[in-house]
Chain A
Amino acid sequence: MSRREDAAFARGDIGVDGEVTEEKRAAAEVERARAREQFLEGKTWLGREFLTWLLWKSESSEPLMSFDGEPVHVLFGGKLTLRGIAGEVIELGLKGTEAAYSQVNRFALENGLLIHAAKLKLTLGEKEFDFTLDAQLLDIRTAKLPDLLTDDEDDRIQERLFLTERLGEVTQAIFMTFLALRRGPEWRGQVLPEILSWLKGE
Protein backbone atom coordinates (compact mmCIF):
# COMPACT_ATOMS: atom_id res chain seq x y z
CA MET A 1 0.00 0.00 0.00
CA SER A 2 1.13 3.57 -0.68
CA ARG A 3 1.45 6.03 2.20
CA ARG A 4 -1.84 7.63 1.21
CA GLU A 5 -3.53 4.26 1.24
CA ASP A 6 -1.94 3.51 4.62
CA ALA A 7 -3.40 6.72 6.01
CA ALA A 8 -6.83 6.01 4.50
CA PHE A 9 -6.71 2.49 6.00
CA ALA A 10 -5.76 3.91 9.42
CA ARG A 11 -8.77 6.26 9.22
CA GLY A 12 -11.05 3.40 8.33
CA ASP A 13 -11.84 4.90 4.93
CA ILE A 14 -10.67 1.82 3.07
CA GLY A 15 -10.40 -1.85 3.94
CA VAL A 16 -7.47 -4.25 3.50
CA ASP A 17 -8.60 -4.78 -0.10
CA GLY A 18 -8.15 -1.05 -0.83
CA GLU A 19 -11.87 -0.58 -1.40
CA VAL A 20 -13.97 2.10 0.36
CA THR A 21 -15.43 0.66 3.57
CA GLU A 22 -19.17 0.15 3.94
CA GLU A 23 -19.21 2.63 6.82
CA LYS A 24 -17.62 5.39 4.80
CA ARG A 25 -19.83 4.67 1.82
CA ALA A 26 -22.91 4.82 4.04
CA ALA A 27 -21.87 8.13 5.63
CA ALA A 28 -21.24 9.70 2.23
CA GLU A 29 -24.61 8.42 0.99
CA VAL A 30 -26.40 9.90 4.00
CA GLU A 31 -24.68 13.21 3.36
CA ARG A 32 -25.68 13.20 -0.30
CA ALA A 33 -29.25 12.23 0.58
CA ARG A 34 -29.50 15.21 2.93
CA ALA A 35 -28.00 17.49 0.30
CA ARG A 36 -30.54 16.22 -2.22
CA GLU A 37 -33.36 16.81 0.26
CA GLN A 38 -32.23 20.40 0.81
CA PHE A 39 -31.87 20.86 -2.92
CA LEU A 40 -35.48 19.87 -3.59
CA GLU A 41 -37.07 21.46 -0.51
CA GLY A 42 -38.84 24.70 -1.30
CA LYS A 43 -37.41 24.66 -4.83
CA THR A 44 -33.99 25.65 -3.57
CA TRP A 45 -32.65 24.21 -6.84
CA LEU A 46 -34.48 26.97 -8.68
CA GLY A 47 -32.81 29.61 -6.51
CA ARG A 48 -29.41 28.03 -7.19
CA GLU A 49 -30.00 27.87 -10.94
CA PHE A 50 -31.10 31.52 -10.74
CA LEU A 51 -27.89 32.65 -9.01
CA THR A 52 -25.78 30.62 -11.41
CA TRP A 53 -27.61 32.15 -14.40
CA LEU A 54 -27.16 35.58 -12.81
CA LEU A 55 -23.40 35.07 -12.59
CA TRP A 56 -23.27 34.20 -16.26
CA LYS A 57 -25.39 37.26 -17.14
CA SER A 58 -23.27 39.53 -14.96
CA GLU A 59 -20.24 38.94 -17.19
CA SER A 60 -21.87 41.15 -19.80
CA SER A 61 -21.52 44.92 -19.53
CA GLU A 62 -25.07 45.33 -20.84
CA PRO A 63 -27.75 46.15 -18.24
CA LEU A 64 -29.44 43.04 -16.92
CA MET A 65 -32.84 44.68 -17.30
CA SER A 66 -34.66 47.93 -16.78
CA PHE A 67 -36.65 48.61 -13.59
CA ASP A 68 -38.95 51.65 -13.48
CA GLY A 69 -36.99 53.10 -16.37
CA GLU A 70 -33.62 52.67 -14.67
CA PRO A 71 -30.92 50.26 -15.83
CA VAL A 72 -30.03 47.39 -13.48
CA HIS A 73 -26.52 45.99 -13.27
CA VAL A 74 -25.33 43.18 -11.03
CA LEU A 75 -21.79 42.18 -10.16
CA PHE A 76 -20.74 39.35 -7.92
CA GLY A 77 -18.63 40.36 -4.92
CA GLY A 78 -15.96 38.62 -2.91
CA LYS A 79 -17.75 35.71 -1.33
CA LEU A 80 -19.94 32.89 -2.52
CA THR A 81 -21.10 29.47 -1.41
CA LEU A 82 -21.70 26.64 -3.82
CA ARG A 83 -23.62 23.47 -3.06
CA GLY A 84 -24.15 20.24 -4.89
CA ILE A 85 -26.12 17.03 -4.50
CA ALA A 86 -23.72 14.37 -5.71
CA GLY A 87 -20.03 13.76 -6.04
CA GLU A 88 -17.40 14.05 -3.35
CA VAL A 89 -17.92 17.75 -2.60
CA ILE A 90 -21.35 18.96 -1.56
CA GLU A 91 -20.38 22.43 -0.36
CA LEU A 92 -17.61 24.83 -1.37
CA GLY A 93 -16.90 28.34 -0.12
CA LEU A 94 -14.99 30.82 -2.26
CA LYS A 95 -13.53 34.11 -1.11
CA GLY A 96 -11.70 36.77 -3.04
CA THR A 97 -12.57 39.84 -5.10
CA GLU A 98 -12.39 37.86 -8.33
CA ALA A 99 -13.53 34.55 -6.86
CA ALA A 100 -16.88 34.47 -8.63
CA TYR A 101 -15.28 35.02 -12.02
CA SER A 102 -12.38 32.66 -11.48
CA GLN A 103 -11.55 29.43 -13.29
CA VAL A 104 -11.85 27.62 -9.96
CA ASN A 105 -15.48 28.69 -9.68
CA ARG A 106 -16.26 27.75 -13.28
CA PHE A 107 -14.68 24.35 -12.75
CA ALA A 108 -16.86 23.79 -9.68
CA LEU A 109 -19.98 24.91 -11.56
CA GLU A 110 -19.09 22.66 -14.47
CA ASN A 111 -18.94 19.75 -12.06
CA GLY A 112 -22.40 20.04 -10.58
CA LEU A 113 -22.01 22.61 -7.80
CA LEU A 114 -24.43 25.55 -8.08
CA ILE A 115 -24.34 28.94 -6.36
CA HIS A 116 -26.30 28.80 -3.11
CA ALA A 117 -25.43 32.22 -1.68
CA ALA A 118 -23.45 35.15 -3.04
CA LYS A 119 -22.38 38.65 -2.18
CA LEU A 120 -23.74 40.98 -4.86
CA LYS A 121 -23.39 44.58 -5.92
CA LEU A 122 -26.61 45.77 -7.52
CA THR A 123 -26.77 49.11 -9.28
CA LEU A 124 -30.15 50.64 -9.99
CA GLY A 125 -29.58 53.84 -11.96
CA GLU A 126 -27.19 55.72 -9.71
CA LYS A 127 -28.01 53.84 -6.53
CA GLU A 128 -25.75 51.04 -5.36
CA PHE A 129 -26.66 48.22 -2.99
CA ASP A 130 -24.24 45.66 -1.55
CA PHE A 131 -25.86 42.57 -0.07
CA THR A 132 -25.83 38.82 0.13
CA LEU A 133 -28.62 36.83 -1.48
CA ASP A 134 -29.39 33.21 -0.67
CA ALA A 135 -31.01 30.72 -3.01
CA GLN A 136 -33.35 29.02 -0.57
CA LEU A 137 -35.64 31.89 0.38
CA LEU A 138 -34.17 34.86 -1.52
CA ASP A 139 -33.61 36.50 1.88
CA ILE A 140 -31.48 39.62 1.81
CA ARG A 141 -28.54 39.59 4.20
CA THR A 142 -26.35 42.40 5.50
CA ALA A 143 -27.45 44.85 2.83
CA LYS A 144 -25.56 48.12 2.76
CA LEU A 145 -27.98 50.76 1.49
CA PRO A 146 -27.04 53.73 -0.70
CA ASP A 147 -26.31 57.05 1.04
CA LEU A 148 -29.48 58.84 2.05
CA LEU A 149 -30.49 62.09 0.42
CA THR A 150 -32.22 63.50 3.49
CA ASP A 151 -30.87 64.73 6.84
CA ASP A 152 -34.22 64.96 8.60
CA GLU A 153 -34.60 62.15 11.17
CA ASP A 154 -38.23 61.35 10.32
CA ASP A 155 -37.54 61.37 6.61
CA ARG A 156 -34.50 59.12 7.08
CA ILE A 157 -36.66 56.26 8.32
CA GLN A 158 -38.98 56.60 5.35
CA GLU A 159 -36.10 56.82 2.93
CA ARG A 160 -34.53 53.67 4.39
CA LEU A 161 -37.89 51.91 4.22
CA PHE A 162 -38.19 52.93 0.59
CA LEU A 163 -34.69 51.69 -0.23
CA THR A 164 -35.05 48.32 1.50
CA GLU A 165 -38.33 47.73 -0.25
CA ARG A 166 -36.82 48.82 -3.54
CA LEU A 167 -33.97 46.37 -3.16
CA GLY A 168 -36.47 43.58 -2.52
CA GLU A 169 -38.56 44.58 -5.54
CA VAL A 170 -35.62 44.72 -7.94
CA THR A 171 -34.27 41.38 -6.69
CA GLN A 172 -37.65 39.82 -7.21
CA ALA A 173 -37.98 41.39 -10.66
CA ILE A 174 -34.64 39.87 -11.68
CA PHE A 175 -35.79 36.48 -10.40
CA MET A 176 -39.07 36.75 -12.32
CA THR A 177 -37.12 37.60 -15.49
CA PHE A 178 -35.12 34.43 -14.95
CA LEU A 179 -38.27 32.41 -14.23
CA ALA A 180 -39.93 33.58 -17.44
CA LEU A 181 -36.86 32.48 -19.36
CA ARG A 182 -36.54 29.23 -17.45
CA ARG A 183 -40.08 28.07 -18.18
CA GLY A 184 -39.81 28.70 -21.92
CA PRO A 185 -38.13 26.89 -24.82
CA GLU A 186 -35.34 29.47 -24.90
CA TRP A 187 -33.79 27.89 -21.80
CA ARG A 188 -32.83 24.61 -23.42
CA GLY A 189 -32.68 25.99 -26.92
CA GLN A 190 -30.31 28.88 -26.37
CA VAL A 191 -29.46 29.90 -22.82
CA LEU A 192 -28.33 26.58 -21.36
CA PRO A 193 -25.95 25.77 -24.25
CA GLU A 194 -24.41 29.24 -23.85
CA ILE A 195 -23.99 28.75 -20.11
CA LEU A 196 -22.38 25.34 -20.64
CA SER A 197 -19.97 26.81 -23.22
CA TRP A 198 -19.13 29.62 -20.83
CA LEU A 199 -18.39 27.10 -18.09
CA LYS A 200 -16.00 25.32 -20.42
CA GLY A 201 -14.29 28.63 -21.13
CA GLU A 202 -15.33 28.59 -24.78
Chain B
Amino acid sequence: MRLVPRPMPLLKGSVSFARFHAAPPATAQAEHLLEGLRLRAFEPIALQGEEERAAGFVELENHTSTAFAPSATFQGDWLVCAWRIDTIRISAAQLNEELKAWIQDFENKNERAPSRYERSEAKMALRKELRAVTPPTTKTFDVAWNLGTGALQIFTLSRKLVDEILVAFDKSFDVTPLPRSPQVLFDEAGLQDAHVKPTPELCWPGLSLV
Protein backbone atom coordinates (compact mmCIF):
# COMPACT_ATOMS: atom_id res chain seq x y z
CA MET B 1 0.00 0.00 0.00
CA ARG B 2 1.43 3.34 -0.98
CA LEU B 3 1.25 5.82 1.91
CA VAL B 4 1.48 9.55 1.51
CA PRO B 5 3.99 10.83 4.12
CA ARG B 6 2.02 12.29 6.99
CA PRO B 7 2.82 15.78 8.23
CA MET B 8 2.21 14.58 11.85
CA PRO B 9 1.44 18.02 13.21
CA LEU B 10 1.14 16.79 16.77
CA LEU B 11 4.67 15.43 16.73
CA LYS B 12 6.58 18.17 14.94
CA GLY B 13 6.41 21.08 12.57
CA SER B 14 3.88 23.86 12.29
CA VAL B 15 0.24 23.21 13.14
CA SER B 16 -3.05 24.32 11.64
CA PHE B 17 -6.19 23.44 13.50
CA ALA B 18 -9.85 24.14 13.99
CA ARG B 19 -10.98 24.62 17.59
CA PHE B 20 -14.08 23.33 19.30
CA HIS B 21 -15.47 22.79 22.75
CA ALA B 22 -16.84 19.35 23.58
CA ALA B 23 -17.59 18.57 27.21
CA PRO B 24 -17.04 14.84 27.76
CA PRO B 25 -20.13 12.95 29.01
CA ALA B 26 -20.22 13.02 32.80
CA THR B 27 -20.19 9.24 33.02
CA ALA B 28 -17.43 8.72 30.46
CA GLN B 29 -14.89 6.14 31.53
CA ALA B 30 -11.70 5.35 29.62
CA GLU B 31 -13.08 2.09 28.25
CA HIS B 32 -16.29 3.76 27.14
CA LEU B 33 -14.27 6.34 25.22
CA LEU B 34 -12.11 3.68 23.62
CA GLU B 35 -15.22 1.80 22.57
CA GLY B 36 -16.46 5.00 20.97
CA LEU B 37 -13.33 5.14 18.82
CA ARG B 38 -13.63 1.48 17.89
CA LEU B 39 -17.22 2.12 16.81
CA ARG B 40 -15.94 4.41 14.07
CA ALA B 41 -12.61 2.67 13.52
CA PHE B 42 -11.04 2.69 10.11
CA GLU B 43 -11.68 -0.31 7.86
CA PRO B 44 -9.54 -0.75 4.72
CA ILE B 45 -11.11 -0.65 1.26
CA ALA B 46 -12.00 -4.17 0.10
CA LEU B 47 -9.80 -5.12 -2.86
CA GLN B 48 -12.61 -6.75 -4.82
CA GLY B 49 -15.35 -4.34 -3.78
CA GLU B 50 -16.88 -1.25 -5.39
CA GLU B 51 -15.93 1.36 -2.76
CA GLU B 52 -13.21 3.82 -3.64
CA ARG B 53 -13.05 5.59 -0.29
CA ALA B 54 -12.79 4.49 3.34
CA ALA B 55 -12.54 6.67 6.46
CA GLY B 56 -12.31 6.11 10.19
CA PHE B 57 -10.34 6.59 13.39
CA VAL B 58 -6.86 5.10 13.83
CA GLU B 59 -4.18 5.43 16.50
CA LEU B 60 -2.21 8.66 16.37
CA GLU B 61 1.27 7.17 16.07
CA ASN B 62 0.37 3.95 14.27
CA HIS B 63 -2.18 4.61 11.59
CA THR B 64 -2.47 0.94 10.68
CA SER B 65 -3.78 0.14 14.15
CA THR B 66 -7.35 0.38 15.41
CA ALA B 67 -6.74 -1.44 18.69
CA PHE B 68 -6.79 1.87 20.60
CA ALA B 69 -4.80 0.61 23.54
CA PRO B 70 -5.08 3.06 26.46
CA SER B 71 -1.34 3.80 26.33
CA ALA B 72 -1.63 4.77 22.65
CA THR B 73 -4.79 6.83 23.04
CA PHE B 74 -4.45 8.78 26.28
CA GLN B 75 -1.72 11.36 26.74
CA GLY B 76 -2.24 12.90 30.18
CA ASP B 77 -5.60 14.65 30.01
CA TRP B 78 -5.85 14.24 26.26
CA LEU B 79 -7.45 11.61 24.12
CA VAL B 80 -5.47 11.54 20.87
CA CYS B 81 -6.13 9.75 17.62
CA ALA B 82 -6.14 10.35 13.89
CA TRP B 83 -8.81 10.31 11.20
CA ARG B 84 -7.59 8.19 8.31
CA ILE B 85 -8.93 8.43 4.75
CA ASP B 86 -7.97 5.98 2.02
CA THR B 87 -8.98 6.70 -1.56
CA ILE B 88 -8.51 4.84 -4.80
CA ARG B 89 -8.21 7.17 -7.76
CA ILE B 90 -8.32 5.72 -11.23
CA SER B 91 -6.51 8.00 -13.60
CA ALA B 92 -8.83 9.09 -16.41
CA ALA B 93 -5.88 9.17 -18.79
CA GLN B 94 -4.90 5.61 -17.92
CA LEU B 95 -8.48 4.39 -18.30
CA ASN B 96 -8.73 6.04 -21.71
CA GLU B 97 -5.46 4.42 -22.79
CA GLU B 98 -6.74 1.00 -21.74
CA LEU B 99 -10.03 1.63 -23.52
CA LYS B 100 -8.23 2.69 -26.71
CA ALA B 101 -6.18 -0.51 -26.63
CA TRP B 102 -9.34 -2.57 -26.09
CA ILE B 103 -11.12 -0.83 -29.01
CA GLN B 104 -8.15 -1.56 -31.29
CA ASP B 105 -8.15 -5.17 -30.22
CA PHE B 106 -11.93 -5.44 -30.75
CA GLU B 107 -11.72 -3.96 -34.24
CA ASN B 108 -8.91 -6.35 -35.19
CA LYS B 109 -10.93 -9.35 -34.00
CA ASN B 110 -14.42 -8.35 -35.20
CA GLU B 111 -13.61 -6.20 -38.24
CA ARG B 112 -15.96 -3.53 -36.98
CA ALA B 113 -16.02 -0.81 -34.38
CA PRO B 114 -17.67 -1.62 -31.03
CA SER B 115 -21.17 -0.26 -30.40
CA ARG B 116 -21.76 2.37 -27.76
CA TYR B 117 -23.14 -0.27 -25.41
CA GLU B 118 -20.12 -2.55 -25.93
CA ARG B 119 -17.75 0.36 -25.26
CA SER B 120 -19.62 1.27 -22.09
CA GLU B 121 -19.51 -2.33 -20.82
CA ALA B 122 -15.81 -2.58 -21.64
CA LYS B 123 -15.07 0.70 -19.87
CA MET B 124 -16.79 -0.54 -16.69
CA ALA B 125 -14.87 -3.81 -16.80
CA LEU B 126 -11.56 -2.03 -17.38
CA ARG B 127 -12.29 0.36 -14.55
CA LYS B 128 -12.92 -2.59 -12.26
CA GLU B 129 -9.63 -4.22 -13.31
CA LEU B 130 -7.68 -1.02 -12.73
CA ARG B 131 -9.33 -0.56 -9.38
CA ALA B 132 -8.16 -3.99 -8.27
CA VAL B 133 -4.53 -3.17 -9.00
CA THR B 134 -4.44 0.52 -7.92
CA PRO B 135 -3.16 0.96 -4.36
CA PRO B 136 -5.12 3.43 -2.22
CA THR B 137 -3.68 6.77 -1.17
CA THR B 138 -3.76 7.39 2.57
CA LYS B 139 -4.12 10.70 4.39
CA THR B 140 -4.45 11.17 8.13
CA PHE B 141 -5.55 14.13 10.25
CA ASP B 142 -4.73 14.33 13.95
CA VAL B 143 -7.41 14.88 16.57
CA ALA B 144 -6.80 15.85 20.21
CA TRP B 145 -9.47 16.15 22.87
CA ASN B 146 -8.69 17.47 26.34
CA LEU B 147 -11.03 15.52 28.59
CA GLY B 148 -10.45 17.98 31.42
CA THR B 149 -11.15 21.29 29.67
CA GLY B 150 -13.26 19.98 26.78
CA ALA B 151 -10.98 21.60 24.19
CA LEU B 152 -11.12 19.69 20.92
CA GLN B 153 -8.60 20.33 18.17
CA ILE B 154 -8.90 18.94 14.67
CA PHE B 155 -5.70 19.37 12.71
CA THR B 156 -7.06 20.29 9.32
CA LEU B 157 -8.77 23.43 8.04
CA SER B 158 -10.72 21.79 5.23
CA ARG B 159 -14.34 22.43 6.26
CA LYS B 160 -15.50 19.29 4.48
CA LEU B 161 -13.07 17.14 6.46
CA VAL B 162 -13.74 18.94 9.71
CA ASP B 163 -17.47 18.34 9.28
CA GLU B 164 -16.87 14.68 8.49
CA ILE B 165 -14.76 14.21 11.62
CA LEU B 166 -17.29 16.08 13.76
CA VAL B 167 -20.09 13.76 12.62
CA ALA B 168 -17.96 10.74 13.50
CA PHE B 169 -17.08 12.31 16.84
CA ASP B 170 -20.71 12.92 17.62
CA LYS B 171 -21.63 9.32 16.78
CA SER B 172 -18.67 7.88 18.70
CA PHE B 173 -19.07 9.85 21.91
CA ASP B 174 -22.56 11.32 21.76
CA VAL B 175 -21.24 14.88 22.15
CA THR B 176 -21.81 17.83 19.85
CA PRO B 177 -18.66 19.92 19.58
CA LEU B 178 -19.20 23.66 19.28
CA PRO B 179 -16.76 25.76 17.23
CA ARG B 180 -14.92 28.61 18.91
CA SER B 181 -15.96 30.97 16.11
CA PRO B 182 -17.13 34.59 16.41
CA GLN B 183 -20.74 33.50 15.86
CA VAL B 184 -20.76 30.90 18.61
CA LEU B 185 -18.80 33.02 21.09
CA PHE B 186 -21.22 35.87 20.38
CA ASP B 187 -24.21 33.59 21.09
CA GLU B 188 -22.60 32.11 24.21
CA ALA B 189 -22.04 35.63 25.55
CA GLY B 190 -25.81 36.07 25.41
CA LEU B 191 -25.65 38.84 22.84
CA GLN B 192 -28.48 39.68 20.46
CA ASP B 193 -28.18 40.74 16.84
CA ALA B 194 -30.25 43.81 17.62
CA HIS B 195 -27.73 45.04 20.18
CA VAL B 196 -24.45 44.50 18.36
CA LYS B 197 -24.24 45.24 14.67
CA PRO B 198 -21.42 45.95 12.20
CA THR B 199 -19.80 49.35 12.72
CA PRO B 200 -20.72 51.43 9.67
CA GLU B 201 -17.75 53.79 10.06
CA LEU B 202 -15.39 50.83 9.69
CA CYS B 203 -17.28 48.69 7.16
CA TRP B 204 -17.90 51.42 4.66
CA PRO B 205 -17.69 55.04 5.62
CA GLY B 206 -21.00 56.64 4.73
CA LEU B 207 -22.94 53.38 4.43
CA SER B 208 -25.37 52.44 7.16
CA LEU B 209 -26.11 48.75 7.65
CA VAL B 210 -28.68 49.34 10.37
Contact = CB atoms under 8 A, between A and B. Distances in A.
B198 A49 contact: yes
A82 B10 CA distance: 30
Interface string A4-23: 00000000000000000000
Contacts of B210: none
A164 B76 CA distance: 15
A174 to B, nearest CB: 12
B132 to A, nearest CB: 38
Nearest to A154: B75
A65 B19 CA distance: 22
B201 interface: yes
Contact of B205 (A111, A176, A187): A111
Nearest to A41: B183
B103 to A, nearest CB: 45
B181 A143 contact: no
A126 to B, nearest CB: 20
A168 interface: yes
B196 A182 contact: yes
Interface in A162-202: 164-165, 168-169, 172, 175-176, 179, 182-183, 187, 192, 195-196
Nearest to A182: B196
A164 B153 contact: yes
Interface string B174-193: 00000111110110010100
Contact of A161 (B75, B202, B204): B75
A84 B18 contact: no
B9 to A, nearest CB: 9
Contacts of A192: 199, 201-202
A25 interface: no
Contacts of A139: 16-19, 157
A49 B209 CA distance: 15
B14 interface: yes
The interface size bin for chain A is 35 or more
Nearest to A143: B15
B187 to A, nearest CB: 9
A114 B203 contact: yes
A136 B205 CA distance: 22
B63 to A, nearest CB: 15
B153 A165 contact: yes
Contacts of A161: 10, 75-76, 78, 80, 144, 146
A144 B12 CA distance: 10
A136 to B, nearest CB: 7
A140 B16 contact: yes
Contacts of B19: 138-140, 168, 172
30 contacts: A39-B198, A42-B183, A45-B203, A46-B182, A85-B204, A86-B207, A109-B202, A111-B205, A112-B207, A140-B19, A141-B157, A142-B14, A142-B15, A143-B16, A143-B17, A145-B15, A158-B76, A161-B10, A161-B80, A164-B15, A164-B144, A164-B153, A165-B146, A165-B149, A165-B151, A165-B153, A168-B180, A172-B180, A176-B185, A183-B191
